[in-house]
Structure 1
Amino acid sequence: MIRLSNVKLPLDHDEQALNDIVLKTLGIQQKQLLSFNVFRRGYDARKKTNIFLIYTLDVDTTDNAFLIEKFIADQLVKESPDMTYKFVAKAPTDLKERPVVVGFGPCGLLTGLVLAQMGYKPIVLERGKEVRERTKDTFGFWRKKELNTESNVQFGEGGAGTFSDGKLYSQVKDPKHYSRKVLDEFVEAGAPDEILFVSKPHIGTYKLVTMVEKMRAKIIELGGEIRFSSRMDDLHIEDGQVTGLTLSSGEVIKSKHIAVAIGHSARDTFQVLHDRGVYIEAKPFSVGFRIEHQQSAIDAARFGKNAGNEILGAADYKLVHHCKNGRSVYSFCMCPGGTVVAATSEVGRVVTNGMSQYSRNERNANSAVVVGIDPSDYPGGPLAGLDFQRELESRAYVMGGENYDAPAQRVGDFMKGVPSKALGSVKPSYTPGIKLTDLADSLPDFCIEAIREAIPAFNRKIKGFALEDALLTGVETRTSAPINIKRDANFQSINTQGLFPAGEGAGYAGGIMSAAIDGIKIAEAMALSINENS
């Protein structure tokens, strides 16, 4: 087939327009066109008065080879790549030791699934509960302020991505088309087909719940084993080789191939790895607030008269500003038509995050507005970033009233440096609740200075961003893990053979898709290592 890229059409084009532009681009007649399908559809809204759709099309004609040669110098007309996933190995018939995957978020899920599909019958360990029980615990915390430290937004089947906007796109390089494997598995598990072609696919929490259950069932059907409420409390290493682990129950599992896909909030597990001598480095991350606007205002600012268009959906944005003090401020995890959620996993701490359902039809848009920091801001060793996060989260807990309400402030008051006394037109979506205050006390001074500089700059790009009634809620600290568990070219720890650091918690991903892609890479690396040592 032939792939046509950067095919532009008006937002309101009819069905025939795609057919016609294929004929025109390739210079062929209708009888030569056998079929075409949309590989990807995005939009360009830089000029809201002239929004157009951008397609990538896969086309089949009677003369594919001739046309590919004819357009050999045209970068927008190429042979369609083979995106079929190909397994790199097959489990030996006398498999002596099963691989272990610690963590069952997007990374651990794909690691376990691909290992199972190759016949390795993995044991997958998850410290939290299965997804429906976990959902009950999470909503229980939001409604009743009853925190289960092992079953919450961060811990449990599906990982932190289950309670998020469900974004399925990333900026990672993907020459082997792993992302297509991920999307195909999601569609097979019940995700809408459109995630295969829209440029910014998303799913939303409720759809993710049922998908995760179906993927779990597939792993089990293929001989894998999933164990919930199974936290890794120790790691066994002999002469630089991992040999097994101990669970919180006291059970010992022996294996020389263990993936740690533990997510960015498994602080106690980070400590275990560090205590056992696994090489870890501190790394940069970001902290800040959630900002809320009415979604209708963001739609109008981005799409103008086209706001509400079904194809465009709820508008999002991506913003960055480089400040005079040398810091960068950027929007992160933007959730159109979503809610701000309580995301702590530890007692006496407040953490915010964002979540959307598939419909993205809630009243507010929300996004993190965060400031980049690096290890020089929190000196003290590889795990010093954990203490930095905890200090900010504990401070937010106190500022919120020590009951898991979050400290919040109107943007206008934040810019003036005065505490908020009353809400304006933007109503908070955060549950359990908020307490109006002065957020200047919640973050280091350099962060407050940077965010105050960035908000007017963002307003020049998104009209109304600096609306006085927009609401800031603190604090956002779990943008990524503050550590990097270094690994070698074989995806193993640089000083612990058989240990495969994976996903967001190890510092190798930043969202559902990148974590899932890393999970596939880890599964392949584990399989090749097992076969090599069999």
Structure 2
Amino acid sequence: MLRLTELKLPLDHPPEALEAAIRARLGLKSEARLAIQVARRGYDARRRGRIAFVYTVDLDTDDEAGLLAAHAGAADLSIAPDTTYRFVAPPPERPLDERPVVVGAGPCGVMAALILAQMGLRPIVLERGRVVRQRTVDTFALWRRGELTPESNVQFGEGGAGTFSDGKLYSQIKDPNHYGRKVLVEFVAAGAPEEILTVSKPHIGTFRLVSMVEHMRGEIERLGGEYRFGTRMDDVVIEEGPDGRRLAGLVLSDGNTLATRHAILALGHSARDSFEMLHARGVAMVAKPFSVGVRIEHPQGWIDRARFGSQAGHPALGAADYKLVHHAANGRSVYSFCMCPGGTVVAATSEPERVVTNGMSQYSRAERNANAGIVVGIDPERDYPGGPLAGIAFQRALESAAFAAGGGDYRAPAQRVGDFLAGRASTSLGAVLPSYKPGVTPADLAACLPDFVVAAIREALPAFGRQLPGFDHEDAVMTGVETRTSSPLRLPRGATLQSVNTAGLYPAGEGAGYAGGILSAGVDGIRVAEAVARSLLTAESARPAA
């Protein structure tokens, strides 16, 4: 099978135009056999009003070797990659005595548990929060009534933080083993639309993610896995031996100790108490860079027109997105983060008396506003020296300031872009209505953010307006604060993906500093699950026969 890339067609091309374009590109006659499978479809919107679809296709035809030879040196034609997922080992002939444990049921934990279950290793999944539908009820209580449930919210509960997001399924990670394809295939099996296998920027949306998470749980349990909800990892039992430190068990919030020598830590970026416990137990961790800033909202129609010009509103395009970057004079990078077309800004705190924002979209992306984080990169050496947990303290200070500026009842501070650029507090809002619930309070966001962040964003907004007309409109609304862009620390791991100083602990996903979003978290979950499987099955093969 061959892969052909960079095949451009007009936005309104008829279905038969794709085959015709392939035959023309390769010089295939009409009678030559040709089977086509679309591998990826995106669009090129660099010329507003003249948008083109861009296809990558896999082809089955006669004399593929001859075609490759005829197009030798062409960058757009090659052998199609084999994206089939293959397990690292067959399932054991009998159930193993030890069951691996997965701590956290977000995208990383779910994919890790699914791989382990498919290999017959019967994982136990610990989730401090609630099942996804009860978690949704708890989350809505914060959004509608300002009632926070610390163990069940946007950050904690079945599905992880990605459940209340745009459900983006694309990443810039290197993925030579095509684990990302395995993630997408399993998502489709769980109910995601099949188009996520081909579109260049796939997304699912919150409501679909809820049912998918339930389906994947059911499959893991069918294969012998076990879920324990409302169960937090409160401590780790570590043995000291001649070969160093090794995990022996996990102390749970119900008072029991779960014996295990293999635990995947898929904690998510907001498990601050777990990080504090692991640090106290001497598990290796280091501070890492992350970003902080605000959420910005514009009417989606403004973004559509700025990106698509006269073709805005075309049904094949949907709601427009954007990606913006500016390098400020103070040495800071300012960029758009987690852009949500046709979505809402949501309350994403997990701790009392703190305000955190995030963005969310449904599959339809049909809400009034577009929103995105506008964030500034920060790093430990300059901004939060003091050890691995210093970034958490940095986040908490900003979130507490936002809680106070919002009125002390989980409303968020909000400001018109015109007021922010002029350096004055907002006393009212303009034409753009903020979507954040349980509501906003006009304020001065400079009181909630470091001066260097404020200066960098003030410089970036007009620059973004030159890239995307209307972006710095005076009535665009900014809501603070955005602090949970990624984990503020990393749990270093070695070649076998175990903690560098505590064998048996497998740090994984976004919380451990190895992912940034649903897809990359799922990919890391697969990698770590494979490492656990190798360790378990190697130990089993070394045991004498009964």
Decide: shared fold, TM above 0.5.
yes
SS for the counterpart of 1:31 is: coil
Partner of 1:20: 20
Q: Cα deviations across residues 334-357 of structure 1 (Å, max 9, x unaligned)?
A: 000000000000000000000000
Q: Partner letter of residue 28 of structure 2?
A: I
Query: Displacement of 1:34 after TM fit?
Result: 3.0
Distance 1:70 1:229 in 2: 62
| In 1, Cα distance between equivalents of 2:118 and 2:316 | 36
Indicate the residue corresponding to 1:334 in structure 2. 339
Q: Is the 8 A contact 1:334 1:354 kept in 2?
A: yes
1:40 matched to 2:40: yes
SS at match of 1:505: coil
Structure 1 position 71, deviation (Å): 2.6
1:382-393 paired onto structure 2 within 5 Å: 382-393=388-399
In structure 1, C-alpha distance between the alignment counterparts of 2:193 and 2:313, rounded to whole Å: 21
1:532 partner SS? helix
Counterpart of 2:272 (choices 267, 274, 279) is: 267
Contact 1:100 1:255 in 2 (8 A): yes
- Note the C-alpha offset of 1:94: 4.8
The corresponding residue for 2:216 is 215
Deviates more, 1:467-476 or 1:78-87: 78-87
Partner of 1:316: 321
Residue 33 of structure 1 deviates from its aligned partner by: 2.8
Range with greater deviation from structure 2 (57-66 or 381-390): 57-66
Choose from 344, 347, 354 the match for 2:352.
Answer: 347
1:61-460 matches, within 5 Å, as 61-92=61-92, 93-239=94-240, 240-376=245-381, 377-460=383-466
Contiguous gaps of at least 5 residues in structure 2? 541-546
Q: Secondary structure at the match of 1:504?
A: coil
Once residues 253 and 213 of structure 1 are traced to their aligned partners in structure 2, the CA distance between those partners, rounded to angstroms, is 25
Measured after TM superposition, the shift of residue 65 of structure 1 is 3.1
Change (3 A) 1:166 1:19: same
Rounded to whole Å, the distance in 2 between the matches of 1:32 and 1:469 is: 58
The DSSP-based 3-state class of the residue aligned with 1:186 is: helix
Pick the aligned partner of 1:461 from 443, 448, 467: 467
* Secondary structure in structure 2 of the residue aligned to 1:202: coil
CA contact under 8 A between 1:162 and 1:209: conserved in structure 2? yes
Alpha-carbon distance in 1 for matches of 2:90, 2:230: 30
One-letter amino acid matched to 2:140:
F
Letter in 2 for 1:90: P
Write out the 4+ residue segments of structure 1 that deviate beyond 6 Å after TM superposition.
none
Match of 1:526 in 2: 532
Distance in 2, matches of 1:222 and 1:233, equals 28
- Cα distance in 1 for residues equivalent to 2:15 and 2:149: 51
2:95/2:121 contact within 8 Å kept = no
Q: Describe the SS at the equivalent of 2:130.
A: coil
Q: Is the 8 A contact 1:341 1:431 kept in 2?
A: yes
CA shift, 1:495, in A, is 0.4
Alignment partner for residue 476 of structure 1, among 478, 482, 491? 482
Deviation of the 1:304 alpha carbon? 0.5
State the AA in 2 paired with 1:227.
R
- Deviation per residue, 1:412-434 (Å, 9 max, x gap): 00000111122111001000000
Kept in 2, the 8 Å contact 1:321–1:328? The answer is yes
For residues 420 and 332 of structure 1, the distance between their equivalents in structure 2, rounded to whole angstroms, comes to 24
Alignment match, 2:60: 60
Contact (CA 8 Å) 1:71, 1:78: kept in 2 or not? no
Which segment drifts farther, 303-312 or 155-164? Answer: 303-312
SS of the equivalent of 2:339 reads strand
SS in 2 for 1:35: strand
Determine helix, strand or coil for the equivalent of 1:454: helix
> How far, CA to CA, are the matches of 2:181 and 2:61 in structure 1?
24
Which consecutive unaligned segments of at least 5 residues does structure 1 have? none
Describe the SS at the equivalent of 2:31: helix
Kept in 1, the 8 Å contact 2:418–2:473? The answer is: yes
Q: Secondary structure at the match of 2:156?
A: coil
RMSD, aligned α-carbons: 0.9
Aligned counterparts of 1:430 and 1:397: Cα–Cα separation in 2: 14
SS state of the match for residue 3, structure 1? strand
Q: CA deviation at 1:323?
A: 0.6
* Residue identity opposite 1:12 in structure 2: D
Amino acid at match of 1:259: I
Amino acid in structure 2 at the alignment position of 1:461: Q
Provide the C-alpha distance between the structure 1 equivalents of 2:265 and 2:323, rounded to a whole number of angstroms: 31
TM-score by length of 2: 0.97
Asked if the contact 1:35/1:59 (under 8 Å) is kept, the reply is: yes
- Structure 1 counterpart SS, 2:306: helix
The alpha-carbon deviation at position 130 of structure 1 amounts to 0.5
* Aligned amino acid, residue 495 of structure 2: A
2:144 partner letter: R
Question: 1:16-47 deviations in whole A, cap 9, x for unaligned?
Answer: 21011111111111221331021100011011
Q: Which residue of structure 1 lines up, in the alignment, with residue 2 of structure 2?
A: 2
Local SS of the residue matching 1:409? strand
2:492 corresponding residue in structure 1? 486
1:75-106 per-position Cα deviation (integer Å, ceiling 9, x unaligned): 21111111110000234325120000000000
Aligned-residue identity in percent: 63
Check conservation: 1:101, 1:112, Cα contact below 8 A. yes
Q: Which residue of 1 aligns with 2:544?
A: none
Within 1, Cα distance between the matches of 2:73 and 2:270? 49
More moved, 305-314 vs 157-166: 305-314
Amino acid corresponding to residue 507 of structure 2 in structure 1: P
SS of the residue aligned with 1:32?
A: coil
**TM-score of the pair, normalised by structure 1:** 0.99
SS at match of 1:465: coil
Asked if 1:51 corresponds to 2:58, the answer is: no
